[in-house]
Chains A and B, each alone.
Chain A
């Protein structure tokens, strides 16, 4: 991240100097910080509402019931987790929070899932197969509805804020599918002969 930051700023300043417009740097300096603060405030409003609703979904057990539906789907992906082990419950909770785009509600479940997987892994410093699969599914982000993004688009005056639901759904299914396939393949390759 620091490299990206460095490159952006140095190249920006260099370009301003070469093109003979050093005053641009100061304009950007003032305007960008102003924009950043006003944007953050509108982001705050949206996130308040979403996280509020996400909290209700979490506390009322709505997420929990959704995650039960996912169980049979996920079972075959994690053959190494014993039946009725809490690890799979946390994994499904994490994924169902992700499905609705409740990212911050997903993290605590993800961490609990990792902890359970680590006990199954005998606290080894090397990741288990189930952990890798979990990470693959998680980072490829199975998102049914990118709620935060839709709300954000609405706040920026989009006339069709929900139009991205379909494109995201298609993109995310493809990336999740490729992650699961690649994970399946690598799991075999990395296995000790």
Chain B
């Protein structure tokens, strides 16, 4: 079953791209101009998050390579072990709901350091792929229409992130450990 899904997921991306391009061509959209327009947006996006990437790389590498991470984690170790989560993943869990760019940089940093096919790499990318920047979305979405009292919305979002983290850790352990 898992094997089938793995095989299926290998096909799904190429198929998706093919269908989108074909659909665009058939509906007579200028697919080339659209592609370039989207790519230009990527440039602005990366320029916007580049300072975040530098900041995160600096802070996190400092934190890890000086041994501070190991030092902090000693008391938390047994708890994390119990959950089956490698200690390196902890900063990502804290940052993920707050800042998308910072979380993305952390995932990059983790995958670069431990390899994308390590358990840490799988976990980091699963967490990044299955949760969202709750605090940021809430403040932008509500802020844009002048809603000041968000009631229970943020609570629900954070609870969902927490379940997402837990589920990511469990499934990665089951699938990739």
Question: Which residues of A approach B to under 8 Å, CB–CB?
Answer: 1, 4-5, 8-9, 11-16, 19, 21, 24-25, 27-29, 31-33, 35-37, 39-40, 43-44, 47-62, 100-101, 103-104, 107, 110-111, 114-115, 117-118, 121, 123-127, 131-132, 135-136, 138-141, 143, 145-150, 152-153, 156-172, 174-176, 178-179, 182-183, 186, 190
Whether B35 pairs with A25 at a CB distance below 8 angstroms is no
B9 near A162 with CB under 8 A, answer yes
Interface string of B150-170 (1 = CB under 8 A from A): 111111110111011001100
Which 7 A/B pairs are nearest by Cβ-Cβ distance? Answer: A146-B129, A55-B38, A175-B164, A12-B62, A140-B160, A158-B116, A165-B9
Over the window 107-136 of chain B, the binary record of Cβ atoms lying under 8 Å from chain A Cβ atoms (1 yes, 0 no) is 111011001110001100111111111100
- Contact across chains for A51 and B39 when beta carbons are under 8 A apart: yes
| 27 A-B pairs (CB sep. < 8 Å) | A1-B95, A8-B62, A9-B59, A12-B63, A12-B66, A16-B62, A28-B61, A28-B65, A36-B56, A48-B42, A50-B42, A51-B39, A52-B35, A62-B23, A107-B140, A114-B142, A114-B144, A118-B147, A123-B146, A127-B151, A136-B156, A139-B133, A150-B13, A156-B115, A158-B117, A167-B130, A179-B159
Interface SS of A by simple majority: helix
A100 touches B16 (CB 8 A): yes
Inter-chain CA distance A72–B145, complex, in Å, is 27
How many angstroms between the C-alpha atoms of A100 and B20 in the bound complex? 11
Q: Are A35 and B57 in contact (CB under 8 A)?
A: yes
CB neighbours of B9 from chain A (8 A): 145, 162-163, 165-166
Is the beta-carbon distance between A127 and B34 smaller than 8 angstroms? no
Roughly how many angstroms separate A103 CA and B41 CA in the complex, as a whole number?
Answer: 12
